[in-house]
Amino acid sequence: MAERILMYGTKWCPDCMRAKQVLNKHNIPFTWYDIEQDAEARAYVQKVNKGYKSVPTIVFPDGSVLVEPSNAELEKKLAVK
């Protein structure tokens, strides 16, 4: 299980940029995977999302996953405001 948040996305995805901003705003470290550059990361995203390349796909240290969360959903999961 991961010790930090893992975020899978693409450089051009507005939701990915927004999710990164939320994590950075709250000084929460995360590891970024660009699914366009990393075939293993792309395969993982497709596995988790029933064949779709839905991003951002965010994996938390407890094993839970959020896909395309709103800022409010992400902040709730992070227990920050």
Per-residue pLDDT of the chain (81 residues; tens, 9 = 90+): 458 999 999 999 999 999 999 999 999 999 999 999 999 999 999 999 999 999 999 999 999 999 999 999 999 999 876
**Separation CA 19–CA 41 (nearest Å):** 18
**Separation CA 2–CA 63 (nearest Å):** 8
Catalogue all structural domains in the chain, each as residue range(s) with its CATH number. Answer: 5-78 (3.40.30.10)
Q: Which whole-number Å values give the CA distances from 24 to 27, 31, 38, 42, 60, in the listed order?
A: 5, 12, 23, 23, 15
